[in-house]
């Protein structure tokens, strides 16, 4: 399907309106082989989800390379897809000898991680690089200079952040263009709607990306959780009032209805679910429907 791409910011990257996250495609989830991964990349592109969300650490530093090995079999796909990846978390484990989990946004770390991501993904350029978590030791000027160098070398086209507070984003944005803030947002996690995160995106004209748009499977695995149960009922009621719509599509439509132009990053490893998620783009919730989910989630009527 051909869904029109959306600009994350003026002059920023054009991404698919729903992005496919690959965090659980490898060691941290489905443990797909190369053929299966290629099949899923193709299915995602076919469905119109042409942008893929990575991080250096996924699968304990193995998933990027597995995705890259799959992509190597169809190099012509590269010009049809957009690759997002992240750096800044240092995760101890079998592939890294760190003494403890920590953050590193030094020039040396950003450069080393980016160059490894380029090798892993078998690509000459990354469309969008995000700083994965706010680092209390981050020096914005050092980050800005590193971004500028990577941009001028053609290695990364655009830069953004993830899990940053509005103040943290503002600080970095004073030194370098920031095209998005990728944050956790879903019908059970409403904080960014009211803590200034989405307001700042509106103010700056940047689209937020929403990770765990279905609550990271909580919606399906914890049906007895009181909040989940209320949200499920609200979403199922809306789904039942429209033909051929499921409650998980309504969960995505809840995010898509927001004026900041939220781009959900879905985490499924199932081709049919990628396809059906895209149908959420055709659902426009009424205000009353939207507030029925909000009310169900917060457990009380708005003031």
Site for ligand NAP in 114-133 (CB under 6 A): 132
Backbone phi, psi, residue 266, to 5°: -80, 150
Report the C-alpha gap between 251 and 254 in whole angstroms. Answer: 5
Considering beta carbons, is residue 49 or 144 the nearer one to ligand NAP? Answer: 49
Report the C-alpha gap between 23 and 133 in whole angstroms. Answer: 16
- Residue of 13, 32, 41, 53 that binds ligand NAP (CB under 6 A): 53
Q: Report the largest interatomic distance among the alpha carbons of the chain, rounded to a whole angstrom.
A: 56
Can residue 135 be called a binding residue for ligand NAP (CB under 6 A)? no
- Residue of 32, 144, 150, 212 that binds ligand NAP (CB under 6 A): 212
**Residue 164 C-alpha from the chain's centroid:** 14
Backbone conformation region of residue 93, classed left if phi is above 0, alpha if psi is from -120 to 50, else beta: left
Site stretch for ligand NAP (CB under 6 A), options 139-147, 267-275, 282-290, 292-300: 267-275
Can residue 64 be called a binding residue for ligand NAP (CB under 6 A)? no
Can residue 265 be called a binding residue for ligand NAP (CB under 6 A)? yes
Site stretch for ligand NAP (CB under 6 A), options 16-24, 75-83, 96-104, 199-207: 16-24
Sign of CA dihedral 272, 273, 274, 280: positive
- Residue of 22, 41, 70, 83 that binds ligand NAP (CB under 6 A): 22
Count of residues near ligand NAP by CB under 6 A: 25
DSSP character string of 269-303: --HHHHHHHHGGGG----HHHHHHHHHHHHTS---
Does 58 qualify as catalytic in the annotation?
Answer: yes
| Active site members | 58
Which residues of the chain form contacts with ligand NAP (CB under 6 A)? Answer: 21-24, 53, 132, 162-163, 182, 211-217, 220, 248, 265-270, 273
């Amino acid at each position: 399907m051909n869904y029109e791409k959306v600009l994350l910011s003026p002059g920023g990257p054009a991404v698919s309106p729903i992005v496919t996250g690959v965090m659980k495609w490898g060691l941290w989830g489905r443990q797909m082989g190369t053929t299966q991964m290629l099949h899923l990349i193709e299915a995602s592109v076919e469905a119109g989800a042409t942008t893929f969300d990575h991080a250096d650490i996924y699968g304990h530093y193995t998933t990027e390379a597995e995705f890259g090995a799959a992509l190597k079999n169809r190099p012509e796909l590269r010009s049809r897809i957009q690759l997002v990846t992240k750096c800044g978390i240092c995760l101890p484990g079998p592939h890294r000898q760190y003494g403890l989990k920590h953050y590193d946004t030094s020039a040396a770390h950003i450069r080393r991680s980016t160059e490894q991501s380029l090798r892993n993904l078998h690509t000459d350029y990354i469309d969008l690089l995000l700083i994965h978590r706010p680092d209390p030791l981050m020096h914005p000027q050092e980050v800005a200079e590193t971004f500028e160098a990577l941009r001028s070398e053609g290695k990364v086209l655009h830069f953004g952040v993830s899990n940053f507070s509005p103040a943290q984003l503002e600080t970095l944005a004073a030194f370098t263009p920031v095209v998005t803030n990728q944050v956790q947002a879903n019908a059970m996690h409403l904080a960014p709607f009211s803590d200034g995160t989405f307001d700042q995106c509106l103010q700056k004209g940047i689209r937020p990306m929403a990770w765990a748009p279905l609550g990271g499977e909580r919606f399906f695995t914890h049906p007895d959780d009181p909040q989940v149960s209320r949200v499920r009922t609200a979403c199922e009621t809306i789904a039942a009032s429209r033909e051929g719509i499921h409650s998980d599509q309504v969960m995505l439509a809840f995010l898509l209805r927001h004026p900041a132009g939220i781009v959900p990053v879905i985490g499924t490893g199932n081709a049919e679910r990628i396809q059906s998620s895209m149908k959420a783009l055709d659902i426009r919730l009424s205000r009353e429907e939207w507030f029925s989910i909000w009310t169900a989630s917060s457990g009380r009527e708005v003031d």
